[in-house]
Amino acid sequence: MFVFDHVGITTTEKQPDENWVEQSRIWVTNPHDHPEHIEFLRYAPDSSVPEIVRNNPHVAYRVKEIEPHLKDVEILIPPFIVGDFLEVVFVLKHGMVFEYMRYLKDGWFGE
């Protein structure tokens, strides 16, 4: 089972209250602070995030476990830990980008 969390949209403009994700070298906003649950992603020039993820919006779902969602999909970004609170994976499914998120604890970047 999974629950909608947010829609991620790429931007080139600095956003208020961005957080840095070292593993993927991007700045992200907290989608829970946006009325429509939008996460803005701004990529550093040396980010290793694949073009398909950079150039397309993604839909993110909260899941209890990542592994079951890795079947019959193309893994675009393998599972990794963000900060100390979140495990994520990006996949291509139904021709679009999905993010599956497993929260390790409550909060967003130390909140």
Give the pLDDT confidence of 71-97 residue by residue, as tens digits: 999 999 999 988 777 899 999 999 999
Cα 84 to Cα 67: distance, rounded to the nearest angstrom: 19
Cα 73 to Cα 86: distance, rounded to the nearest angstrom: 21
**First-to-last C-alpha distance (Å) of the chain:** 26
109 backbone φψ class: left, alpha, beta (φ>0; ψ -120 to 50): left
User: Residues in the chain, how many?
Assistant: 111
* pTM metric for this prediction: 0.90
Average pLDDT over residues 60-65: 95
With b for 16 or more beta-carbon neighbours within 10 A and e for fewer, the 4-37 pattern comes to ebbbbebeeeeeeebbebeebebbbbbbeeeeee
* Domains of the chain, CATH where assigned: 2-103 (3.10.180.10)
Span of 21-25, 47-51, 60-64, 89-93 with lowest mean pLDDT: 21-25
CB distance 71 to 65 below 8 Å? no
